[in-house]
Amino acid sequence: MTQGTKMPADFLWGGAVAAHQVEGAWQEDVKGVSIADVMQAASRTQPVRKFTDTVQAGKIYPNHWGIDFYHTYPEDIKRFQELGMKAFRTSIAWTRIFPNGDEKEPNQAGLDHYRQMFQALLDAGIQPVITLSHFEMPIHLVKEYGGWRNRKLIDFFVRFARVCFENFHDQVHYWMTFNEIDNQSDWGLPHHLLQDSGLQLQPGENAEEAMFQAVHNELVASAKTVLAARKVDPQLQIGGMLAMVPIYPLTAKPADQMEAMRAMQYRYFFGDVHALGQYPKWLRKYWAQKGYDIPVSAADADILRRGTVDFMGMSYYMSFATAERADGKLEFDEHHDLVDNPTLPKSDWGWQIDPIGVRWILNWMEDRWHKPIMIVENGFGAYDKLEDGHVHDQYRIDYLRAHIEQMEKAVTEDGVDVIGYMMWAPIDLISASTGEMAKRYGLIYVDQDDAGQGSGKRYLKDSFAWYKQLIASDGSEL
């Protein structure tokens, strides 16, 4: 055991999932079809999930079953309670509340489901922390409206958000608008545009311009959501949510430093708008230089300025590195021109493991955005082996321990205002990027394979006991 720091008693230790990765029941209680429902399974070696317009016979759509949490939540929440979790982050599936996304009235059955689930959490002493949009927008909004490039989505989303606030403000205090909105800065990987914004590009269309147009609408929707929450209940806390991935310069060469700085600016302008209420100057220049048409009206600018978030939610899994481009340009046409950082080990899925990076990025966020920070994802996807009812996942304990240790240093030594840590994930679930079950994150093992076969039975891994002790000691027994 390692000596950690005693964190404040009200620190939100917990775990996180997303609706589409656990619930299953994809057609129950009048639920509509979401993007996640038409994404096929991929694999570690063929990582990009195929998106199909409709469900094709004989293909695997793992989000149709998830881990059946829609039905198993009462027993799973009992396990979360045994773990001592103080907060559970999940999302509300938009398609359970507005099946197509453009209805005027919500689906009562969906509202009832979440009310009961939140009550079960509260009865177990666990606070729900809710994301409104986590890679699961209604497919109808993609097909009929072209996704977030269409301004009509602003009103649809804000209506959905307002209905959620009105129905659950007495149960849910912390909310986030868009999960990992910054993933789409990697627009060279088209599935990010689809998962985040419902964008399907036309042949010849400029992906980067489409991304900026869609993102502007989402940022306006996010700011309007903040304003709507304040009207419903001024106590509510609304956050943005970004995947925080430090992008280091590969060397001390000034051109590498410049490239890395711009890569950080490019990936994190979303947070500048959320927290500071305006677009950075370099980006306005960049749009002008590229001739992009991003219609930021005076009214939009005013909404962005007034609708800044109360806190920043974030995920942290890995860091990247970058080096000067061969053409010397500060542009990002393929995955930020990322390069391997030779100093770091990788997970089996190629994610570079960097515990100090979490302390580094927490300091960076504090310096730049001056908001309380909630870590709502951090975890280790790995192959697990179930043997005689046990999973000895020391590698997961090692990963979590090293990252939590650095997070605690950021709080106690550097003074960063971190209000919670929710590991991904308390229970095994469907991977977002590959759709696999084999890429396991849980403290609780679910007996189910990539094709959805298995008993579905739950087993506590070694990491469960370790995390339980960590929470019970307020973070001091690492």
Which one among 127, 213, 341, 433 touches ligand P53, defined by CB under 6 A?
433
Residues 6+ apart with CB under 8 A from 309: 177, 222, 226, 238, 239, 240, 274, 275, 371
Residue 264 binds to ligand P53 (criterion: CB under 6 A): no
Q: Select 180 or 337, whichever has its Cβ closest to ligand P53.
A: 180
Q: Select 21 or 463, whichever has its Cβ closest to ligand P53.
A: 21
377 annotated active-site = yes
In Å, the largest CA–CA distance within the chain is 64
Shortest Cβ distance from residue 233 to ligand P53 (Å)?
Answer: 26
Q: Select 159 or 440, whichever has its Cβ closest to ligand P53.
A: 440
Tell me how crowded residue 338 is: count the other CB atoms within 10 A of its CB. 18
Q: CA–CA separation, 108 vs 30, rounded Å?
A: 9
Shortest Cβ distance from residue 466 to ligand P53 (Å)?
Answer: 20
Residue 179 binds to ligand P53 (criterion: CB under 6 A): yes
What six digits make up the tokens of 62?
A: 């793992």
Select from 373, 379, 354 the least CA-distant residue to 411: 373
Residue 432 binds to ligand P53 (criterion: CB under 6 A): yes
Residue 136 binds to ligand P53 (criterion: CB under 6 A): no
Residue 22 binds to ligand P53 (criterion: CB under 6 A): no
Residue 243 binds to ligand P53 (criterion: CB under 6 A): yes
Chain position whose Cβ is nearest to ligand P53: 433
Q: Which stretches does DSSP call E strand in 292-354?
A: 311-315, 320-322, 338-339
Q: CA–CA separation, 229 vs 37, rounded Å?
A: 29
Q: Select 107 or 433, whichever has its Cβ closest to ligand P53.
A: 433
Residue 437 binds to ligand P53 (criterion: CB under 6 A): no
Residue 439 binds to ligand P53 (criterion: CB under 6 A): yes
180 annotated active-site = yes
Residue 315 binds to ligand P53 (criterion: CB under 6 A): yes
Beta-bridge partner residues of 314: 242, 375
Q: For 4, what's the count of Cα atoms within 13 Å in the CB-facing half-sphere?
A: 26
Tell me how far CA of residue 302 lies from CA of 155, 176, 338, in angstroms. 17, 21, 35
Total binding residues toward ligand P53, as defined by CB under 6 A: 15
The edge-to-edge listing of strands for the beta sheet with 247-249 is 247-249, 320-322, 338-339
Q: Select 107 or 352, whichever has its Cβ closest to ligand P53.
A: 352
Long-range contacts of the stretch 288-297 (C-beta < 8 A, 24+):
290/208, 290/209, 292/206, 292/208, 292/209, 292/212, 293/209, 293/213, 294/209, 294/212, 294/213, 294/216, 295/213, 295/216, 296/216
Which one among 114, 279, 424, 464 touches ligand P53, defined by CB under 6 A?
424
Residue 180 binds to ligand P53 (criterion: CB under 6 A): yes
Q: Select 237 or 315, whichever has its Cβ closest to ligand P53.
A: 315
Catalytic: which of 377, 405, 408, 436? Answer: 377
Binding-site string for ligand P53 from residue 377 to residue 396, where x marks contact by CB under 6 A and - marks none:
x---x---------------
Residues 103-122 touching ligand P53, rule: CB under 6 A, are none
Q: Select 96 or 159, whichever has its Cβ closest to ligand P53.
A: 96
Shortest Cβ distance from residue 424 to ligand P53 (Å)?
Answer: 6
Which one among 197, 217, 237, 431 touches ligand P53, defined by CB under 6 A?
431
Residues 6+ apart with CB under 8 A from 181: 196, 215, 218, 219, 222, 240, 241, 242, 270
Residue 399 binds to ligand P53 (criterion: CB under 6 A): no
Residue 244 binds to ligand P53 (criterion: CB under 6 A): no
- Find out whether the peptide bond into 425 is cis, omega within 30 degrees of 0: yes
Catalytic: which of 23, 136, 180, 408? Answer: 180
- Which amino acids are annotated catalytic? 180, 377
Binding site for ligand P53 (CB under 6 A): 18, 21, 179-180, 183, 243, 315, 317, 377, 381, 424, 431-433, 439
